Chain A
């Protein structure tokens, strides 16, 4: 305890009296010694410089919606909150770009951008609360990824604080730029292991004038395969094309000018009915919004174990069947939701460690042969210890290890998130 008090006292001198808090909820069962929430980029830099000198284990955090994802932190001396760095620094609407601080919640950012008829077209898990920094660090994306891509597709530049406290930038504020290495993308999806993102610039999109969603419900594995094929072979241009279940439903969203949105919705509805999807409806307005909220909550609405699955799109129908079978076999109430054409899915698999372990093993067996993967985002430390959160990483792991050592030679950032550069600090 004395040690923690001393740590807090020093942290207060470094980051400011009001920036330090002792005690916090545990992260994957690991209790952070102190929480530091600096009020400026300079203070983040000072804090890291100090932590680096003392080899303190640091884990950056925003709203904490994805703090549990990935490997279990080995130790947290300092939970570094970016929550006070929450400004929208610039919205250059004529250029369709915005620069935002890491702690700004996406919901609030988009409220501001909306004033000019634009938005940052990301719909990650917990989209309203999730902060820009956390979204970048996890490269988390939702249904609109189909059209707009994941954060790595939209990021133009980044400013981050290195493990040693130095403030570095890469990329810029223009949509096209190949000067220097693309550290923005390197940082995106690095789960806070290479640097602490304090600010990022993104390409924006105009808000779509109209939206329609077509839902085909109650599909069996036969009809679902046909229905997916039909829409992929068509000339329709949805902004999202999702599967959810079991029982499985397909969702296609059309966000464009009114006429095109209506016409495409009708077209896909007819296609799907032709494939035997009897229960196919076109939604708009509040009913549409509600359906997408339900889609999000199907996976994220409970505190269950959640995996991220990547696979080739043509492996999807087989996976759906196996997933439903596994849930039945283990008597688990789970749900899967994901991008049909991208091959990026999220699966909630209950919270029974033994069942989860078996499900993850079986899913890995199915997809890894085809180059796919199953990552445990959320799950008990026991589950993660058993199955390994990331799965096989192949020969690239060696290079990632080297990158980690160069960016964080003392190994203070997000220890344990990744199996790289272990055995330090």
Chain B
């Protein structure tokens, strides 16, 4: 169904005048997430302030057959929150309350619009923090993090969003409200929290999140090492892992991204082909012993310089340089496309070599920043949108890099999600049966396919009837034998 006057009136009755945006100029603000080349102006935008409002909006959409898309803070990089033109965009930024801080049990319950950083900020007075730290943490919402299973530099040791979410409240695609998991581990039943995290807003709308907090570590030590090549830096990463050390974070930047970061935020990084930022945290005696080993591994791998952060301020400067890397590309290129692929860490030099060759062949510069410990690459493909054909070329180059990732056993996305951007690449990783099986999960949650449609899957599956209770044939009831 289309959005008509009656539908709009019903929406307005639910969210009020201040919660509804239907003027075209205002709706355009929401036409994309941070992947700006995919755009669609939503039919109407609502900004509910309560869970019952979310429920009623969804119920209305469900009964009218209108598709709807959840949006957090719109920092997604895969077009996950790309609106549907004839649909409703449900923006969750006004559900932004911290509902409970249970310091003794190290739990926090929050609404989806709370930003990632705010959670750690509010936990800090208790000596606690929330571990997953996407570079966008100041601006992205926890609801978006849950939807994307977001990661961050410190996920090497502490895991991703899925490792820190204990429970969810979900508005199902038919408007029903359910609680999955909870503050206590191992809630009886299937691990629907595990399935929900990373489902990219396609299984319902998260309205509450129960999080696990960690104690702030006693000691944090950070070093910055400069290398004559990305291969040498890669060898250092392998050496650290081979020494049995799992750092809190290992991040790599190559020459182009170092230059860009330097131009943008002046972190005073050394001039080098590659830098590594390695951070260890934990109990002091342990960090002491391991940090010395990390330093010597870096030197053995050929580091021309190893800087140890003297204090929190210097550490913060290292991280500013790293976390600003994406945005900093704007300093060296009119446009850039952030790619997100994963490889087994041991394939790093092989894949980087292929990316370099590709850059040469395509004529586009490609910078590389990665979560090196996890093998999560973020090639930054520079192009000029004003030059006819370059945007398309950049997209092709991105697709080819994903192909390299898959060929060495990796993934087409490590943390940004499939969204609208990579749905077409899914068959690179998964067979038709795999995709059909995943869609069975979707059908269980959203048989009418209205909840964030056209994301993740290259071809949506029609769900058909919900399989009803099976009724035994009378002959069968007679006994075992009849069924063979």
Contacts and interface: CB of A to CB of B under 8 A. Distances in A.
Interface of A: 2-3, 6-7, 10, 33, 54-56, 77, 92, 94-97, 117, 139, 149-150, 152-153, 162, 166-170, 172-183, 185-186, 188-190, 193-194, 205-209, 235-237, 256-257, 259-260, 263-264, 308, 310-314, 342-344, 367, 370-373, 375, 390-391, 393-400, 402-407, 409-411, 418, 421-425
B183 A180 contact: no
Contacts of A189: 186, 190-191
A371 B183 contact: yes
B359 interface: no
Nearest to A206: B244
Interface string B416-455: 1110001000100111011111101111110000000000
A260 B244 CA distance: 15
B4 interface: no
Contact of A54 (B184, B411, B484): B484
A406 B203 CA distance: 14
Nearest to B476: A55
Contacts of B430: 169-170, 179-180
Nearest to A403: B444
B411 A406 contact: no
B284 A390 contact: no
Contacts of A10: 484
Interface stretch (B38-46, B85-93, B148-156, B304-312): B148-156
Nearest to B102: A312
A92 B183 contact: no
A224 to B, nearest CB: 15
A410 to B, nearest CB: 7
Given A403-B192, A424-B470, A176 B480 contact: no
Q: Which residue among B106, B194, B285, B466 has the maximum number of chain A CB atoms within 10 Å of its CB?
A: B194
A236 B286 CA distance: 10
A310 B218 contact: no
B178 A398 contact: yes
Given A391-B188, A399-B444, A409-B467, A183 B437 contact: yes
B189 A94 contact: no
A313 B286 contact: no
A399 B418 contact: no
B483 to A, nearest CB: 6
A190 B436 CA distance: 20
10 contacts: A33-B480, A172-B411, A172-B429, A174-B411, A178-B148, A182-B149, A310-B187, A372-B184, A373-B188, A396-B180
B437 A162 contact: yes
A77 B480 contact: yes
Contacts of A409: 467
Contacts of B344: 92, 94-95, 97, 173-174
Interface string B319-339: 000000000000000000000
Interface in B96-145: 102, 104-107
Contacts of A400: 189-190, 192
Contact of B188 (A176, A314, A375): A375
4 A-B pairs closest in CB distance = A185-B194, A424-B470, A206-B244, A235-B218
B440 A406 contact: yes
Given A181-B198, A402-B445, A371 B189 contact: no
A398 B180 CA distance: 11
Interface in B310-363: 342-346
B267 interface: no
Given A308-B186, A310-B185, A421-B469, 7 more contacts: A168-B436, A181-B195, A257-B289, A312-B105, A396-B178, A406-B467, A423-B471
Given A194-B190, A260-B283, A3 B484 contact: yes
Contacts of B375: 95, 174-176
A398 B174 CA distance: 13
Contact of B151 (A176, A206, A393): A176
A169 B417 CA distance: 18
A424 B409 CA distance: 40
B456 interface: yes
Nearest to B104: A314
A70 to B, nearest CB: 9
A425 B477 CA distance: 10
A179 B105 contact: no
B290 interface: yes
B375 to A, nearest CB: 6
A392 to B, nearest CB: 8
